[in-house]
């Protein structure tokens, strides 16, 4: 109406927490288990952005619809084809693992999304996404992305020993869990080794790849390390319990944050959910995979997990079960208490 004041619409990032994943090849089940772990524990609504090969999309949609309505109402899912906006699509597609480079293009594709959490398919949430989402508020005025270190100890870290290209900090960063303020990424001019002035994110990707392609081993992760080497003020580094990998326990425990607080996000890289090399990681994956949605969390998730862990005590990672169990136990208690309160509230009028 004339003269009526228009209120700006709440940004979509305030309405829901955006989670992006890229799934190609045989990663369907792994991706679904990751999404399941996100939905099981999170409090606020989730918006999934699933980048998948065309052949996987119908299967994703079918499986997600099979989840009970008490869970499907907690999220919405959006699907996207695999696309690369600059350079040679086939080159990008083959970089490191199939489609992994897609994550580099998220700021360009998801133009209406303000902030986003990107994770690899082999990630499991052991606490609400809400907790890592809150880290966005801790960014200072120049920070626009957050990742965890690739290693805690430089002398056994991969980058510090073998990298033939620039990388962030003393051990590099791991891109399997990456929190991004996309609005800032889109509006920033990045310093680089290509031209004296700054380049936008999109302008920088392909020339940077061309310059370093003969020196990079870990594909898109290496490119991110190169970008943040030249722009260290843009990166917020979060502690290792937010991206806990076999490296944190297979050489002895070296993630202090996980010892104190428990693992917040488990990252089963190098296929450890599917082989026998790290039974503790596999146990967590299988228990979340097999958990029947509507069941009691303690009875059908926590207790089976405890008993599976008893079989892993002979391994280095299995010697520290409390690191894996501490956070998930805390989270389940909260979920349980919330449900009891909601249930009581619905059945009692005071």
DSSP character string of 152-175: S-GGG-HHHHH-SS--STTT-EEE
Q: What is the pLDDT of residue 299?
A: 92
Structural tokens at position 84: 């690369």
Residue ranges of the chain with per-residue pLDDT less than 50:
1-13, 349-350
Residue 15: phi and psi, rounded to 5, are -80, -35
The SS3 assignment for 267 reads strand
Q: How many CB atoms lie within 10 A of CB 344?
A: 10
DSSP letters along 291-309, please?
--TTS-HIIIIIHHHHHHH
For residues 332 and 40, give the distance between their C-alpha atoms in angstroms, rounded to a whole number: 9
Greatest Cα-to-Cα distance within the chain, rounded to the nearest angstrom: 74
Residue 3: phi and psi, rounded to 5, are 80, -5
Structural tokens at position 241: 């319990």
If 0-12 CB within 10 Å is exposed, 13-18 middle and 19+ buried, where does residue 68 land? Answer: exposed
Structural tokens at position 327: 């956070």
Per residue in 30-62, pLDDT tens?
A: 999 999 999 999 999 999 999 999 999 999 999
- How far, CA to CA in Å, does 6 sit from each of 11, 112, 113, 169? 15, 20, 22, 46
- How far, CA to CA in Å, does 18 sit from each of 13, 226, 302, 329? 7, 26, 27, 25
3-state helix vs strand vs coil in the chain, percent to 5: 45, 15, 40
Bridge partners, 23 (sequence order): 52
Which domains, from first to last, does the chain contain?
A: 17-238 (3.90.550.10), 251-343 (no CATH)
Q: What is the pLDDT of residue 257?
A: 96
For residues 232 and 55, give the distance between their C-alpha atoms in angstroms, rounded to a whole number: 39
Quick check: 99 and 53 in contact, CB under 8 A? Answer: yes
Q: What is the pLDDT of residue 7?
A: 34
């Amino acid at each position: 109406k004339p003269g009526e004041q228009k209120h700006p619409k709440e940004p979509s990032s305030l309405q829901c927490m955006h989670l992006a994943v890229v799934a190609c090849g045989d990663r369907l089940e792994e991706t679904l288990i990751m999404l399941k772990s996100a939905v099981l524990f999170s409090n606020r609504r989730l918006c999934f952005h699933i980048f998948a090969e065309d052949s996987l999309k119908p299967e994703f949609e079918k499986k997600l619809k099979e989840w009970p309505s008490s869970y499907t109402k907690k999220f919405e899912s959006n699907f996207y084809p695999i696309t690369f906006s600059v350079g040679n699509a086939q080159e990008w597609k083959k970089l490191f693992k199939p489609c992994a480079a897609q994550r580099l293009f998220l700021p360009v594709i998801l133009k209406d999304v303000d902030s986003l959490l990107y994770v690899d398919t082999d990630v499991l949430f052991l606490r609400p996404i809400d907790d890592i989402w809150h880290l966005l508020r801790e960014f200072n005025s120049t920070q626009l992305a957050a990742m965890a270190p690739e290693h805690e100890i430089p002398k056994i870290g991969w980058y510090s020993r073998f990298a033939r290209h620039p990388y962030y900090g003393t051990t590099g960063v791991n891109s399997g869990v990456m929190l991004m303020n996309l609005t800032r990424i889109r509006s920033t001019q990045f310093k680089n080794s290509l031209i004296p002035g700054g380049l936008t994110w999109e302008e920088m990707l392909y020339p940077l790849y061309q310059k370093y392609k003969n020196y990079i081993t870990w594909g898109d992760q290496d490119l991110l390390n190169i970008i943040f080497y030249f722009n260290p003020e843009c990166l917020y580094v979060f502690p290792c319990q937010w991206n806990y990998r076999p490296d944190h326990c297979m050489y002895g425990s070296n993630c202090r944050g996980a010892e104190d607080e428990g693992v917040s996000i488990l990252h089963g890289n190098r296929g450890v959910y599917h082989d026998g090399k790290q039974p503790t990681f596999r146990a967590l994956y299988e228990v979340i995979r097999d958990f029947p949605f509507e069941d009691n969390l303690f009875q059908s998730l926590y207790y089976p997990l405890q008993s599976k862990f008893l079989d892993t005590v002979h391994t280095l990672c299995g010697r520290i079960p409390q690191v894996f169990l501490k956070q998930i136990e805390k989270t389940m208690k909260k979920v349980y208490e919330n449900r009891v309160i909601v249930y009581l509230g619905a059945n009692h009028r005071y």
